[in-house]
Amino acid sequence: MWPDVSGTNHNTASDWFTPRRFSIVLLAALAAAFPKIVLGLESWFFRDYGVLGYPALFFHREAFWRGEIPLWNPLSNCGAPFLAQWGTMALYPGSLVYLLFPMPWSLSYFCLGHLFLAGLGMYWLARRWTGNGFAAAAAGFAFVFNGATFSCLLWPNYTVALGWMPWVVLTAERAWTEGGRKVLVAGVVAAMQLLSGVPEIILLTWLAVIGLWLACGRQAGSLHRTLLRLALAVVIAAGLAAAQIFPFLDLLSHSHRDAGFAPVKWSMPGWGWANLIAPLFHCFESPLGIFFQPEQAFLSSYYPGVIVLALAIWGGLAVGSARARVMAVLTVLALVMALGPNGFLYSLVRGIFPGLGLMRFPVKFVLLATFLMPLLAAMALGWWERSCASTSSRDRWLLPGLTWLAVAVAMAGIIWFGRAHPFEFDQPDVMTTNTLVRLGFFTALMVLLAGFCLGGIGALIVRWLWLVLLVLDVITHVPWQNPSLPAGHFNPGLWVMANKTKAPRHGEGRVMITPAAEDKLTHSMVADAAANWTGKRLALWSNLNLLEGIPKVNGSSTLQLRPQREIEDMIYKQGRTNCPGLLDFLGVRLITAPQNVVEWVERPSALPLVTAGQQPAWIGGTQALAAVFAPDFDPKKVVYLPAEIESRTTARKLAQPKQLEVRHEAQRLTIQIDTPEPSWVVIAQSYAPQWRAYVDGRQTGLFRANHAFQALEVPAGRHRVEVVYKDYWFYAGAGVSLITLMVCLLAGWQICLRRRQQAMAGDGARLSSQ
């Protein structure tokens, strides 16, 4: 069945696809796919791109132009760590694109640039493995133009992590095979992916690296030596990214997340493999026209292109190399793991490694398959071209014909099953038409594949048509995954203009979305894209308050400080909103109107961020959590403090400070207080161990108050109090990163110097011999 591939002749048409030509064509394809984005006329907005990622990066940009390192975000979740969230990319060097240039268009270019980076990296990796320019180009296009990669545009940091994924594998392989400065390069590239802040993609990348090393490491020398080189690259990457990793790990230890913090969510359905060839099988249409599987809404599609899937199977079965076998096994394992509890493997592995519970969405394993399938397809294309010289014309049609028949039968079965057993919101006619169009593209691509053995200009034309159809298949496989809106919809100031009132600022008060409004916004049924987006902006949903600079009780922080999250869970999961004292303490000046999620009701009883004079109530364990939700809680008169600190303090009764003036900054509070007796200063800001308190320049204790917030004791008299955010884990990590960078620069200089000396010695030897 398989043609003999012992020949080494390559079609010159494949050599036409040089790195420069591929780069130009890929840029042109991206511009054609996103013309309004490229022209800066529109910006993506759908789901997390608009309400989560864009506002967070906008906040980073504002901090940058204030001259601040954004360690703390005072506007969300009653205050939350920002840089330590990792996914904010606060230390990623590429972020300078949207920090220096106006948003939203600069962020769009940032994302498109990383799609280009992904395609170029895949091209070089596939070219290294196949030696075939066309096969490499096909892999580059297949990695960029597929349902999963386009889905990940919802998260700019995911696009960054995918952009560096092939480069990490490429440089890691060169590191273990060649050593020397290639180890330094691999460490730097891996550090860039680390700074994207997507642990799952980073782990999947290194799973591929380790698998390939196990398969091919011995070919480059002893396993011990190659492993040492690879480990050194990992150490360099970790050292360069330490400024990000250290605060992240510290926040993780204080956050609400652990291996069992939430149930597994968004697994691939048990029938989900069918969507690899029939994208709309058992999918429902959302109000904005995007299709999703009923059991997972993380990826709107993971369709790789039927031709890519078929070629990946060819690559796994026919190429025969250890590298191809390992990639085929990893691809299958990734697709099985993506099933989550719907497949046997995920539950088994999670039982052995409970930490896997931190990865709540098993469908993310699809991203490893998304990376490996184009590489297997490239190997198959290279193998197929080499087979032309040794295969008769009749035999050349046999394998494509059998593959087409298998796919056609599978598609027919899927169509029949989908029509015979539809789900409640299925559209069988739409699914049928879509699947038949995929079959049409697949048929054309298979016919062209058989024409790869042509010579002359025809060979080049066939390959060009093949790439065009490959891209068109993916672009048309579902209704547009990444809708956009005119750039003007992102201008800040919309809330103030619509409400014709002054917005509360940091220290003055907060807004609060009610649980009912939160639920309605989460499940919004507004079909008009502009109206949907504008409504969420006016409601200040998710992170959209950051566009307006308005503090909010909740937010969308990936990692939340554990006590503060417990307060939020009581409000939003248990519906405990009959707590006027707590809302006053949190400074809730505006709350969602009962009948309209985009209107607000004032609460004149809200307190400022900093108050003083409360009488301490010493309370143990989690009793403070219940106490602050009590209807009779009066935050003006009482503050709940841990019983274990009572012996270390002297303020015992209600006090009446004569003066209390506060200057509010994002990461510093400066308080002038004059009190006739020892007094407590209470701050309605999330408690985090990085906050430090100073009275007249001397450090004093800053304690957890009212379960999740801050308080410090001030002696009688007039004092200057400073409460400052100092993340010593960040400072330590920055020191490690700086030292690592200096060592890398020195090592690189030494390697270059040694090579120059060797080259000069070689030239001298040749001259003397003459």
Calpha distance 516→558 (Å, rounded): 22
Nearest Cα to Cα of residue 6 among 300, 391, 425: 391
Calpha distance 500→712 (Å, rounded): 38
Domain ranges for the chain: 12-33+86-475, 45-85+491-607, 610-726
- pLDDT more than 90, % of the chain: 78
Mean pLDDT (the chain, rounded): 91
Higher pLDDT, 760 or 684: 684
Q: Residues 656-685: pLDDT tens digits?
A: 998 899 999 999 999 999 999 999 999 999
520 close to 592: Cβ distance less than 8 angstroms: no
Is it the case that residue 695 has pLDDT exceeding 70?
A: yes
Calpha distance 606→586 (Å, rounded): 7
pLDDT category at 694 given cuts 50, 70, 90 is: very high
Is it the case that residue 759 has pLDDT exceeding 80?
A: no
Phi, psi of 499 (to 5 degrees): -95, -10
pLDDT (mean) for 76-86: 94
Q: What pLDDT sits at residue 766? A: 62
Q: What pLDDT sits at residue 9? A: 38
- H-helix or E-strand containing 201? helix 199-216
Q: Residues 215-270: pLDDT tens digits?
A: 887 776 677 888 999 999 999 999 999 999 999 999 999 998 876 666 778 999 99
Q: Residues 399-450: pLDDT tens digits?
A: 888 999 999 999 999 999 999 999 999 999 999 999 999 999 999 999 998 8
Number of H-type helices and E-type strands within the chain: 30, 20
Q: Residues 530-569: pLDDT tens digits?
A: 999 999 999 999 999 999 999 999 999 889 999 999 999 9
Q: How far is CA 555 from CA 76, 263, 718, in A?
A: 5, 21, 37
Quote the pTM value.
0.93
Q: What pLDDT sits at residue 564? A: 95
Calpha distance 457→557 (Å, rounded): 55
pLDDT category at 389 given cuts 50, 70, 90 is: low
CATH 2.60.40 fits 610-726, yes or no: no
Is it the case that residue 358 has pLDDT exceeding 70?
A: no
Q: Residues 250-263: pLDDT tens digits?
A: 999 999 887 666 67
Q: What pLDDT sits at residue 5? A: 35
Is it the case that residue 134 has pLDDT exceeding 50?
A: yes
301 close to 154: Cβ distance less than 8 angstroms: no
Chain centroid, CA 562 distance in Å: 22
Q: What pLDDT sits at residue 756? A: 75
- pLDDT more than 70, % of the chain: 94
β-strand pairing of 638-642 with 615-619: parallel
Q: What pLDDT sits at residue 257? A: 81
The gap between the terminal CA atoms of the chain, to the nearest Å, is 58
3-state SS string for 239-285:
HHCHHHHHHHHHHHHHECCCCCCCCCCCCCCCCHHHHHCCCCCCCEE
Is it the case that residue 391 has pLDDT exceeding 80?
A: no
pLDDT category at 291 given cuts 50, 70, 90 is: very high
3-state SS string for 458-513:
HHHHHHHHHHHHHHHHHHCCCCCCCCEEEHHHHCCCHHHHHHCCCCCCCCCCEEEC
Q: What pLDDT sits at residue 259? A: 60
pLDDT category at 394 given cuts 50, 70, 90 is: low
Is it the case that residue 7 has pLDDT exceeding 50?
A: no
pLDDT category at 760 given cuts 50, 70, 90 is: low
Q: What pLDDT sits at residue 1? A: 35
